[in-house]
Amino acid sequence: MNKLYDVFEEITPDRFESIQAELIDRKENVVVETNQKRNYKRYALALVMIASVIVVAVMLQKPAKVIAVVGIDVNPSIELSINQKNKIEQVTAKNEDAKKIIGDMDLKGSQIDVGINALIGAMLKEGYIDELKNSLLISVTGDNQEENEKLRKQLSLNVDEFLKASHIDGSVVSQTIDQQDDIIKLAKQYNISVGKAEIIQQLIVKNSLYTFDGLKDLSVNELNILLQNNHVDHVNVTGQASVSDYIGQEKAKKIAFDDAKVSKPTMKKIQLDYDDGQMIYEVEFTQDGIEYEYDIQAKTGKILKKEMEGKKKITSSSTSQNQTSMITKDQAKKIAMNHAGVKSIQNYQIKEDIDNGQKEYDIEFLSGNYQYEYTIRVKDGRILENEKKNVGTVKITAEQAKQKALDHANISKADAKKLEAELEKKYYEVSFTVGEYEYEYHIDALNGKVLHHEKEKED
Amino acid sequence: MDNREIDQLILQIPQNDSHFHEFYNKTKTIVFAYIMSIIKNYDDSSDILQEVYIKIYLAAQNYQSQKKPLAWIFTIARNECYFFLRKRQLNIEYDDQLSLPQSMNMDTKLILEELFTALNDQERQVIIMHSLWGLKHLEIASLLEIPLSTSLSSYHRGMKKMKEVWRKNQ
In the chain, the amino acid numbered A121 is G
Together in a domain, A415 and A359: no
Do A8 and B32 lie within an 8 Å CB cutoff? yes
Give the Å distances, CA to CA, from A112 to A109, A159, A235, B64, B97: 9, 11, 21, 45, 48
β-pairing verdict for A136-142 and A68-73: antiparallel
> What φ, ψ does residue A134 adopt, rounded to 5°?
-110, 40
B99, B123, B153 - which closes a domain: B99
Together in a domain, B78 and B136: no
Q: Residue A28 above 80 pLDDT? A: no
CB atoms within 10 A of CB A457: 8
Together in a domain, B126 and B170: yes
Of A23-37, A309-323, A403-417, the range with the lowest mean pLDDT is A309-323
A419: containing domain = 398-457
Helix or strand (DSSP H, E) at A409: helix A398-409
C-alpha span between B37 and B121 (Å, rounded): 7
Q: Is A143 on the interface with B (CB under 8 A)?
A: no
B140: domain CATH number is: 1.10.10.10
Together in a domain, B29 and B110: no
In three-state secondary structure terms, A328 is coil
Facing residue for B59 by CB, picked from A9, A30, A291: A30
Do A8 and B71 lie within an 8 Å CB cutoff? no
C-alpha span between A401 and A429 (Å, rounded): 9
Together in a domain, A143 and A273: no
Q: Given pLDDT bands bounded at 50, 70 and 90, which one contains residue A155?
A: confident
- Chain-wide mean pLDDT for chain B? 87
B90: containing domain = 1-99
How far apart are the two ends of chain A, measured CA to CA in Å?
Answer: 25
Report DSSP letters for A228-255, one per residue.
Answer: HHTT--SSEEES----TTS--HHHHHHH
Together in a domain, B25 and B38: yes
Together in a domain, B59 and B30: yes
A332: domain CATH number is: 3.10.450.40
Based on the number of CB atoms within 10 Å of its own CB, is A174 exposed (0-12), middle (13-18) or buried (19 or more)? buried
Give the Å distances, CA to CA, from A52 to A68, A72, A164, A448: 15, 6, 17, 44
Q: Which residue of A has its CA nearest to B67?
A: A36
**pLDDT (tens digit, 9 = 90+) per residue, A77-97?**
898 988 888 888 888 888 888
What mean pLDDT comes out for the span A17-28?
Answer: 80
C-alpha span between A345 and B118 (Å, rounded): 34
Q: How many domains in chain A?
A: 4
Mutate to test the interface with A, among B19, B24, B56, B58 (most CBs of A within 10 A): B58
The answer to whether residue A49 is domain-embedded is no
Mutate to test the interface with A, among B54, B132, B156 (most CBs of A within 10 A): B54
C-alpha span between B49 and A279 (Å, rounded): 36
Do B111 and A7 lie within an 8 Å CB cutoff? yes
What mean pLDDT comes out for the span B22-42?
Answer: 93
Do A385 and B132 lie within an 8 Å CB cutoff? no
Q: Residue A154 above 60 pLDDT? A: yes
DSSP state of B129: I
C-alpha span between A272 and A350 (Å, rounded): 35
Q: Residue A238 above 50 pLDDT? A: yes
Together in a domain, B86 and B159: no
How far apart are the two ends of chain B, measured CA to CA in Å?
Answer: 29
Task: Please give the pLDDT value at position B78.
Answer: 92
In three-state secondary structure terms, A13 is coil
Task: Please give the pLDDT value at position A459.
Answer: 58
Together in a domain, A382 and A405: no
Q: Residue A60 above 50 pLDDT? A: no
Facing residue for A32 by CB, picked from B36, B75, B100: B75
Q: Is B68 on the interface with A (CB under 8 A)?
A: yes
B99, B122, B157 - which closes a domain: B99
Out of A80-84, A325-329, A368-372, B46-50, give the one with best mean pLDDT: B46-50
Q: How many domains in chain B?
A: 2
B12: domain CATH number is: 1.10.1740.10
Task: Please give the pLDDT value at position B91.
Answer: 57
Q: Given pLDDT bands bounded at 50, 70 and 90, which one contains residue B92?
A: low
Q: Is B84 on the interface with A (CB under 8 A)?
A: no
Together in a domain, B82 and B157: no
Facing residue for B142 by CB, picked from A19, A35, A206: A35
Together in a domain, B94 and B121: no
Q: Given pLDDT bands bounded at 50, 70 and 90, which one contains residue B140?
A: very high
- Chain-wide mean pLDDT for chain A? 80
Across chain B, the runs of DSSP E, i.e. the strands, are none
Together in a domain, B87 and B167: no
Together in a domain, B62 and B140: no
Together in a domain, B161 and B91: no
Together in a domain, B18 and B95: yes
Contact between A346 and A369 under an 8 Å Cβ cutoff? The reply is no
Which residues in chain A have their CB less than 8 angstroms from residue B82's CB? 205-206
B99, B131, B154 - which closes a domain: B99
Q: Given pLDDT bands bounded at 50, 70 and 90, which one contains residue A319?
A: very low
The answer to whether residue A196 is domain-embedded is yes
Together in a domain, A79 and A217: yes
**pLDDT (tens digit, 9 = 90+) per residue, A35-45?**
543 444 344 33
Q: With pLDDT > 70 as the criterion, what percentage of chain B qualifies?
A: 94
Q: Is B62 on the interface with A (CB under 8 A)?
A: yes
What is the model's pTM? 0.42
β-pairing verdict for A417-423 and A383-390: unpaired
